[in-house]
Amino acid sequence: MLFDWSGNIKEIKVPADFNLSIDPVISNWYKYFHNDHLDQFSLHKTLATLQRICEQYNIRDYYISGWTDINFNMIGVDTKKMYPDTCLKLFGGENLLEPDSLTDNLYIYPNVSHPNPAGHIMIAEHLYHWIFKREI
């Protein structure tokens, strides 16, 4: 997220039709600032921070990636706390760059890029069983 020129919070995400000309803020973000390395760095920074906070307060923490595979090539993140598949893979999807393949997905439809209630249940069940096995 970022603040637009009027001071309003704006969520940065690619619109479903990938037409970045719809919004100049989003368009400029992807044109001049966004890159895969920055995404990976931000993810590692966030995960390392969350894991240290949870460690400090004795919180058992676990994580799952929604739509993209995570490349853990930085130190400081405990990858054993990451579910081995993305939500996209749980839903039977392989490639987020082909969003049309998800339009009729049982776990996403009628949404475009967010799980529906059945998708949330599926994620919860997978995580529950994975965490339960780890806690025994």
Give the pLDDT of residue 97: 52
- What range does the domain containing 104 cover? 61-135
Give the pLDDT of residue 29: 73
Answer whether residue 34 is part of any domain: no
Give the pLDDT of residue 127: 96
Answer whether residue 7 is part of any domain: no
Give the pLDDT of residue 109: 87
Give the pLDDT of residue 95: 61
Answer whether residue 83 is part of any domain: yes
Q: Residues of the chain whose pLDDT is less than 50? A: 15
**What domain count does the chain have?**
1
Answer whether residue 101 is part of any domain: yes
For 19-59, the DSSP string reads -GGG-HHHHHIIIII--HHHHHHHHHHHHHHHHHHHHHTT-
Answer whether residue 51 is part of any domain: no
**Whether the predicted model's global pTM rises above the 0.75 cut:** no
Q: Which residues have C-beta within 8 Å of that of residue 25, sequence separation ≥ 6?
A: 2, 4, 10, 12
Pairwise CA distance, residues 83 & 119, whole Å:
16
Q: Hey, what amino acid is at 35?
A: N
Give the pLDDT of residue 25: 74
